[in-house]
Amino acid sequence: MTQKTAAIIGGGVIGGGWAARFLLMGWDVRVFDPDPEAARKIDEVLNNARRSLPGLSDVALPAEGQLSVHGTMSAAVTGVDWVQESVPERLELKRKVYQTLQEHCPHDAVIGSSTSGFKPSELQGCATRPEQIVVAHPFNPVYLLPLVELVPSDKTAPQIIQRAKEVLTEIGMYPLHVRAEIDAHIADRFLEAVWREALWLIKDGVATTEEIDNAIRYGFGLRWAQMGLFETYRIAGGEAGMRHFIEQFGPCLEWPWTKLMDVPELTDDLIDAVADQSDAQSGMYTIRELERARDNNLVTILRGLKAQDWGAGKLLNAQDRRVEGAIGLPDDLGQPIVTVERAVPLDWTDYNGHMNEARYLQAFGDATDRMMALVGCDAAYIATGGSYFTAETHIRHLDEVHAGAVIRIETQVLNGAGKKMHVFHRMYEGTRELATGEHMLIHVSLETRRACEPAPALAATLAKVAAAHAALPMPEGAGKAVGVKG
């Protein structure tokens, strides 16, 4: 297969993102930017992309391409398949760049512009071959967000449009073909409207920047992230759908809710167009199916934010801490200790409709973490340089569990002497046993990453629990190997 090459003209935030996207999708990348710091800046963006982009894929990405930085545009674009212009938003500068590019790049290469505002016909004004130029407007970070607004003019060659769609799809992006030239394309027009309204709210003393951001990230921003605008409002219309939503809320457009009062009249033709397009978009689903899809998506997004302790996820973590209360050993150590009690979330299920086997390990891992905290190996202790590492795990899957089920994990300490912590977990739904997890952990120094004795207070607490649990029957399955019944 012939190696493909992209030239990136302008190595700023957007240009660097394009370079990373192409490079990590197997393309060779040539960069031109007169900034003497361009190579360093590109490398820093690339490091972020290497850290994050591969995690979006469940298969191996292509072998990374070769990156080179060039001192002239001519050297960067000679013989390339794609040229992405990301220079500052000055029309005269962009037109000058295109004249130089087209002197040296292949006639059949796609020349895409990252412009967020200029129309392609404006960019093509002084071009030698206007048919070669198209707007390819991405969103930051380019290496993660898939949307590219692909905007041709009536002079753009059909084969260039088709080739651009193929390349953008090949590198994992979504080319949104904007069929009519319009200032700021599609997405930035929405952003500009929200931005203007936000500025008015601040100017009028109604809200602060943080309050406005919270209104977005705790509310409609989450809905938009997974269903957009019209599908979200279709659900709001209930079983009667989009037409009912417009009939119910359409008059609000004429109310003085916003500074942006130039709104279209809701004629029968406009209502029909919106309703018909909404039917074509989502009419194959019932409202209940759309609601379930929405809920699944929101749970996945919110739990992802929770894992990062950011935005709405930070709120959820704070709520968990309020509900959980203080962590402490139970008064009665003569019974296994309940270390997990929770509902199985929607995103823990697999294609068979029950909990994914990896989530059993996660639940048992959470139980182990709780047991560690109960005996004194909490965040404060770990900050002093000691912790437990899991050395061996054995899980038995005994019964199915589905989303929404409330699971309970009871933990028995089998050994708590010296450097070892040997625990046995049982997972239940009510009285039904679902699985067991046996884990051997070793106390280590986080400085040397080698086994060491735990601090005396921790060792004493763990030994106390182990001694109390020694009077309990040995759990069925403890110490058994895979396939050996016990």
Output the pLDDT for position 242.
85
Question: For residue 297, which of 214, 232, 215, 366 has the smallest C-alpha distance?
Answer: 232
Q: What is the C-alpha radius of gyration for the chain, rounded to an integer number of angstroms? A: 29
Per-residue pLDDT of the chain (486 residues; tens, 9 = 90+): 689 999 999 999 899 999 999 999 999 999 999 999 999 989 999 999 998 898 888 778 899 999 999 999 999 999 999 999 999 999 999 999 999 999 999 999 999 999 998 999 999 988 899 999 999 999 989 999 899 999 999 999 999 999 999 999 999 999 999 999 998 899 998 888 888 888 888 888 888 888 999 999 999 898 888 888 888 888 888 888 888 888 877 777 666 767 666 767 778 888 888 888 888 888 898 888 888 888 888 888 888 998 899 888 888 888 888 777 777 899 999 999 999 999 898 888 888 888 999 999 999 999 999 999 999 999 999 999 999 999 999 999 999 999 889 999 999 999 999 999 999 999 999 999 999 999 999 999 999 999 999 999 999 999 999 999 999 999 999 988 776 665
10 annotated as a binding-site residue: yes
| pLDDT tens by residue, 232-243 | 888 888 888 888
Parallel, antiparallel, or unpaired: how do β-strands 5-9 and 28-32 relate?
Answer: parallel
Q: Is 418 annotated as a binding residue?
A: no
Q: What is the b/e burial string over 309-348, where b = at least 16 CB atoms within 10 angstroms of the residue's CB? A: eebbbebeeeeeeeeeeeeeeeeebeebbebbeeebbbbb
Residue 212, marked binder: no
Reported as a single tens digit per residue, the pLDDT across 42-85 is 999 999 999 889 888 877 889 999 999 999 999 999 999 999 99
- The annotation status of 15 as a binding-site residue, yes or no, is yes
Q: How far apart are CA 104 and CA 324, in angstroms?
A: 66
Structure confidence at residue 311 (pLDDT): 85
Instruction: For the chain, list the domains and their CATH numbers.
Output: 5-177 (3.40.50.720), 187-287 (1.10.1040.10), 326-469 (3.10.129.10)
> If DSSP states are collapsed to H, E and C, what string results for the chain?
CCCCEEEEECCCHHHHHHHHHHHHCCCEEEEECCCCCHHHHHHHHHHHHHHHHHHHCCCCCCCCCCEEEECCHHHHHCCCCEEEECCCCCHHHHHHHHHHHHHHCCCCCEEEECCCCCCHHHHHHHCCCHHHEEEEECCCCCCCCCEEEEECCCCCCHHHHHHHHHHHHHCCCEEEECCCCCCCCCHHHHHHHHHHHHHHHHHCCCCCHHHHHHHHHHHHHHHHHHHCCHHHHHHHCHHHHHHHHHHHHHHHHHCCCCCCCCCCCCCHHHHHHHHHHHHHHHCCCCHHHHHHHHHHHHHHHHHHHHHHCCCHHHHHHHHHHHHHCCCCCCCCCCCCEEEEEEECCHHHECCCCCECHHHHHHHHHHHHHHHHHHCCCCHHHHHCCEEEEEEEEEEEECCCCCCCCEEEEEEEEEECCCCEEEEEEEEEECCEEEEEEEEEEEEEECCCCCECCCCHHHHHHHHHHHHHHCCCCCCCCCCCCCCCCC
